[in-house]
Amino acid sequence: MTDSSGVTSGSDPDGGIDGRDRREITHSLAGGPRPGLRRVATEEAFSTKDVADELGKVATSPTESLDLSLVKAIYGGGRSSALLGRLLDLEEERLADMDANGVSVQLLSLTAPGVQMFDADSATDLASKANDQLAAVIDRHPERFGGLATIAPQSPRRAVAEMERAMGELKLNGFVINSHTNNEYLDDPKFWPILEAAEGLGACIYLHPRSPSDGFSAPLRHYGVNAVWGFATETGTHAVRMIMSGLFDRFPDLRFCLGHMGEGVHFWFWRLDFLQASLQRSGAGVRLALTPSEYFKRNFVITTSGQESHLALDYSIKALGADRVLWAVDYPYQPTASAVAFLDSAPISEEDREKVYHLNAERVFRLPSA
């Protein structure tokens, strides 16, 4: 449907199964991006040739990871995929796309699954090289790019050294971790040195999705549901585990960012708080100082990547406050023009739009403010 501002939005993709009369659900603005808005996109993917080559080897490996189908599709096909080309490109098509759509800054992160499917030595080495390449492109375009450092949780000790180098020497803006590593989650004490380092450095960890861990994946192997629903259940579960484990009493200043409108976790606030209260009464679970929703509002921010629903945005701002919602495109997996039209046309105050478009990102990821 088209409203008076020329915004096309859809919420009811009930077209025919062959797609010929499927309703458009992306957004578009008749006059193009609104002038005068600063737009900082915070979940923007890239890859490097080294990492892509190594994922090409994973594509032919005997792993049973649910990530394999995605890895095969992008990295296993003779390098001809247009998507792979857009991931490897940093300074040509990407900058042109940003210019055409009024995107001021992309906060770059090595695309999922990052280095988390490799052995510890390769992963540590590839993370460090990817971070060097990321810092170099930011140096060439300091007004257009920021970057989240990749780390290899497979070796927490070496990851901590890389985190210190990334925030110190490389002056990157935070970290990205793609959910589980070898089916293990960050509430495991083996990963606590990484969390302690992030807290000490005052740097936010973007907890980006990957496919669910092996024990969690069977029902998601059908009907193509994994790439959206599987990612959200995996990553949302990861966040809920961390909250319920008491991690944020140990690390009260630790900050995480969740994409895809918070992976839906805040929709469950009442039920999670009810669960926690029930557990406390019966002496089960871990005793927590705060309620789950209080931790989420203190220790997490969320982004709008790939979730262009005005209704979900409205709920998120009401549930979390406008200071905790950041804009993102999820380039090159999602179209930039639609993500821009979505927030340009969102029925929110201009003050909140500025927060979501750039002020929150500048604060959370310590990006320059223009």
Encoded tokens for 266: 């805040």
What CA–CA distance (Å, rounded) separates 366 from 369? 9
Find the residue with minimal CB distance to Mn ion: 330
**What is the smallest separation between the CB atom of 41 and Mn ion, expressed in angstroms?**
11
Stretch that binds Mn ion, among 41-49, 264-272, 287-295, 319-327 (CB under 5 A): 41-49
- The nearest distance, CB 209 to Mn ion, in angstroms, is 7
When asked if residue 330 is in the footprint of Mn ion (CB under 5 A), the reply is: yes
Give every CB contact of residue 224 below 8 A, 6+ residues apart in sequence. Answer: none
- At its nearest, how many Å lie between Mn ion and the CB of residue 364? 17
Select 43 or 67, whichever has its Cβ closest to Mn ion.
Answer: 43
Q: How many residues bind Mn ion (CB under 5 A)?
A: 2
Q: Which of residues 221-250 bind Mn ion (CB under 5 A)?
A: none
Q: Which is nearer to Mn ion, 33 or 259 (CB)?
A: 259
Cβ distance to Mn ion smaller for residue 8 or 304: 304
143, two tokens: 């007004």
Shortest distance in whole angstroms from residue 277 CB to Mn ion: 34
Instruction: Say which of 67, 97, 187, 330 is annotated catalytic.
Output: 330
Please confirm, yes or no, whether 187 is among the known catalytic residues: no
Query: Is 44 an interacting residue with respect to Mn ion (CB under 5 A)?
Result: no
Contact between 67 and Mn ion by CB under 5 A: the answer reads no
Phi first, then psi, for residue 88 (nearest 5°) are -80, -25
- Candidates 40-48, 96-104, 136-144, 249-257 — which segment interacts with Mn ion by CB under 5 A? 40-48
Q: Which residues are identified as catalytic?
A: 330
**Residues contributing to the site for Mn ion (CB under 5 A):** 43, 330
